[in-house]
Amino acid sequence: MTALLTLDHVTVRFGGVTALDGVSLEVHEGQICALIGPNGAGKTTAFNAISRLVRPASGEIRFAGRDLLAAHPADLAGLGIARTFQNLALWPGMTVLDNVMVGRHARGRTGFASSVLGWPGAKEDRELRARAYAMLDYFDIADVAARECTGLPFGTLKRVELARALVNEPRLLLLDEPAGGLTHGDVRELGELLRRLRDERGITLLLVEHHMQFVMGLSDYVFALDFGRDLVSGTPAELRDSAELVEAYLGTPV
């Protein structure tokens, strides 16, 4: 299997705090992988390093054979990487459709303003609109396309964020706590949806998640961090009885 994403001894420091300390991991094409670990373990920092929001002090990050640390952060969408955020990063006063269309501007020639404001002239704009609708349809939320995000149920907004990330047709999707704040039923549906994304669209997924049952039921491979370091990694079956993992979570059974 080919590694799509590789972190090789990545260290990130914030002043005197070492948030990541020589972390290494490999995500293979077509896998659903999870990054787990107690609060402050460095999971979000790892995501931020991959997304080029923070710069590692040392180490390498490679994506599809390219040195990601040499790429400009604005190029990530073009390279095929998309992400969602722990706290929804949607524009509340904009419609669902416009929020999804904004996700596409990084790849098209049509600018941000013309995408959002609907300036004329754009064959590309019409195609973008059609793509955004298709994504909303895929996520079963096409009926709220014209609604403002304000006031929509949290589970729906999570789907809007997913649709926005996917409208760029990424190869790798980074999901920061996708199950956070969802109801039991929403979590189950999300799991099915993510599996379909992998199976039907070939998208590789890396998620940061605290919901252990969700992680262990969904992932092909799991990486656990603790205090910014690699703790253990393996398939959910391999990790189920991991003493290190149980200890890291202070005795909480996983």
Ligand X SMILES: Nc1ncnc2c1ncn2[C@@H]1O[C@H](COP(=O)(O)OP(=O)(O)OP(=O)(O)O)[C@@H](O)[C@H]1O
Stretch binding ligand X (CB under 6 A), from 38-46, 76-84, 130-138, 235-243:
38-46
> How many of the chain's residues bind ligand X (CB under 6 A)?
11
Q: Side by side, which strands form the sheet with 229-234?
A: 81-84, 172-176, 204-208, 32-36, 221-226, 229-234
The least distance separating ligand X from the CB of residue 210, rounded to whole angstroms, comes to 6
* C-beta closer to ligand X: residue 98 or 209: 209
Cα 254 to Cα 240: distance, rounded to the nearest angstrom: 6
In the list 37, 56, 59, 108, the residue contacting ligand X (rule: CB under 6 A) is: 37
Interaction pattern, residues 101-140, with ligand X; x per rule: CB under 6 A: ----------------------------------------
Q: Which parts of 9-28 interact with ligand X (CB under 6 A)?
A: 14, 17, 19
Q: For ligand X, which residue of 1, 2, 39, 109 counts as binding (CB under 6 A)? A: 39
50 contact partners, CB below 8 Å, separation of at least 6 = 5, 7, 61, 63, 68, 81, 174, 206
Residue with tokens 């956070």: 180
Q: Nearer to ligand X by C-beta: 115 or 233?
A: 233
Contact call for residues 225 and 23 (beta carbons, < 8 A): yes
Q: Which of 3, 24, 28, 40 binds ligand X (CB under 6 A)?
A: 40
**Selection from 118, 138, 137 nearest residue 128 by Cα:** 118
CB of 120 to ligand X, least distance (A): 42
Is residue 43 involved in binding ligand X (CB under 6 A)? yes
CB-count burial class (<10 Å; 0-12, 13-18, 19+) for 11: middle
CA angle 136, 64, 224 (to 5 degrees): 80
Applying CB under 6 A, among 7, 42, 136, 245 the residue interacting with ligand X is 42
What is the contact surface with ligand X in residues (CB under 6 A)?
Answer: 14, 17, 19, 37, 39-45
